[in-house]
Every structure is written in C-alpha cells, then in structure tokens.
Amino acid sequence: MTPRQQCLNCMQRTPPAVFEAALWIAAEHDPGFQPAHIGEPMDRLLRRISAALPAAPAVELAQPLLREMSHLGFQRDEWNPPKAESAMLHRVLERQRGQPLSLALIAMELARRLEIPLEGVNFPGHFLLRVPGADHVLDPCNGRRLYPKDCRELLVRQYGPDMPLRAEHMVRASPLSLVQRLSRNLRHLHQINGDFLAALEDANRIIELGDATGSDYMARASLYQTLECPQAERFDLEHALLLSEDPLQRLRLTERLGQLPTSRLH
C-alpha cells in the first residue's frame, strides 16, 4: 500500500487518525521515512512533557504543555523563503522548528495521549489551538493566550487593516480540514521552492481527500500550466468554473479556457 493510500485510510477510521495521516504525507515526500520511525522520538518527548506538567486538572494543562514544548526548543520556523521541511512532521521533530500547524499537530497528539482536551482552530494565516469551551485561543508556537483583540491584531499584521475578524475564523478545525490545510501548506512550499512535481502530489492529495474547493482546482491547474499539461489544466479549470459563484472569476476562467488548445483525437 502506498503512502497516499495509507494516508487516505487513516482518514476513514473512526475517529480519523490525523497525526498518522500527516506522517504518511511526510513519507510520501521522503521515501526513506516510515511513520514507525517516529515512535521512540514521540515517546521520549511525551515522557519529558509529562514529567514537567504541574499537578492540575487536565483541562488546565494545555497551556503548560505548549509552554513546555517551547521550553524544550520547539519554535516557529523562520526560514526565508520557507521550506517544505517546516510542514513535514518528522523533520519538525528533528529540528524542533516548524510552521504553526505542524507544531499544533504534534501538540494535539501529545495532548491526546495525555488526555488533555485540545482542539485546532482554522485561523487564517496562523493556525491556533483552543481548549474546548475556553474564551481564548492558544498560539501553538509559544502557548500564549490570545483573546479577540489579539486575534484582530494578528489578522492586521498578516492581511492589513481591511481584514475583519469573523466568526468563521474561530471555528474548530475538523480532521479533514487539518489534513487538507497541511497539504495546501506543502503544495505552496514545494511550489515556491520550484519542486512542481512534489507540489502536484500535494494538489492531487487535496482533491482525493474530498470537499476540494474551486481554489484547489485552480491551484492544480496552475501547476499543470507550469508543467505544460494543457488538457489536465483544462479539466481543473472546468471544475473550478462549476464551483465558482463569483461572476468576475467565472469570466476570467472562461477567458482562460478559451486560450487553451483544443483536444485532438488521432
């Protein structure tokens, strides 16, 4: 069974095995890695975190867990430009550097094993964590508490003053959205580093996982354009057109489709 099939199978379990699925995504890009290799490093990290946590109810231990991870050296990766290793969990564990989502996935897995309630929040541009029912969220990079004012400031820093804080920004991340967001991150990282075939693997995985958006099809179409695959590009642009409800975007997609060569049968 291929790493892709293993990843998809993880998502079919009840509940979905998100952490293992993320490990199989790493294995897809790094053939020398197997998810079983991560067992001892994770067990060792779990023992160190567990020993450092205070004697308190589990519901109060999410922030101490994140702070202890930060104390042990886990931080946001500051590579410029960013690299795919920032989103591949085995590399993040080795380097103790990663994107917020990758750090969050490790933290959520540790919390799951320690029976500490912790969930993901699909905040734009910077993945966040939350104890269910809490009035604040947590930064996976350092454990800092963020309240609505802090979240608004985070949006302004990343998107400018015209980006308002909306209720959907604070929605709990589903298992599917976690794996798709990781795949989108990797697609972007591979693309900006010029590894278009690896980016295409990530784009294909997003589609295979299901519930892909028009933007996902447009992103894959752009990769096919770069790789000079016009018929595959046409297929994805047509799907994006079917999913789009924006008249201006539909017009642009139609114009782009009209510029592609027509298929010829021989």
DSSP-assigned letter for residue 263: P
Domain that holds residue 101: 3-170
CA distance 164 to 240: 26
Q: 156-165, 171-180, 182-191, 257-266: lowest mean pLDDT where?
A: 257-266
CA distance 182 to 207: 13
| Predicted confidence (pLDDT) per residue in 157-176, tens digit | 989 988 899 999 999 999 99
Six-digit token pair at 152?
A: 């608004």
Split into its structural domains, the chain has a count of 2
At which of 147, 170, 193 does a domain end?
Answer: 170
pTM value? 0.95
Examine the domain organization and report whether 119 and 133 are in the same domain: yes
Q: Answer with the residue of higher pLDDT: 162 or 183.
A: 183
Question: What pLDDT is stored for residue 264 in this prediction?
Answer: 53
Examine the domain organization and report whether 186 and 132 are in the same domain: no
Examine the domain organization and report whether 144 and 70 are in the same domain: yes
Mean pLDDT of 71-98: 94
At which of 170, 190, 222 does a domain end?
Answer: 170
Question: What pLDDT is stored for residue 266 in this prediction?
Answer: 38
Examine the domain organization and report whether 110 and 217 are in the same domain: no
Domain-embedded: residue 263? no
Count of H-run helices and E-run strands, the chain: 12, 6
Q: Give the confidence band of 81 by pLDDT, cuts at 50, 70, 90.
A: confident
| Predicted confidence (pLDDT) per residue in 21-55, tens digit | 999 999 999 999 999 999 999 999 999 999 999 99
Q: Check: CB of residue 89 under 8 Å from CB of residue 22.
A: yes
Domain-embedded: residue 29? yes
At which of 144, 170, 196 does a domain end?
Answer: 170
Examine the domain organization and report whether 71 and 142 are in the same domain: yes
Mean pLDDT of 184-205: 98
Residue 194 belongs to domain with CATH number: 1.25.40.10
Examine the domain organization and report whether 153 and 206 are in the same domain: no
Could you identify the residue written with the tokens 């539909």?
Answer: 250
Question: What pLDDT is stored for residue 265 in this prediction?
Answer: 43
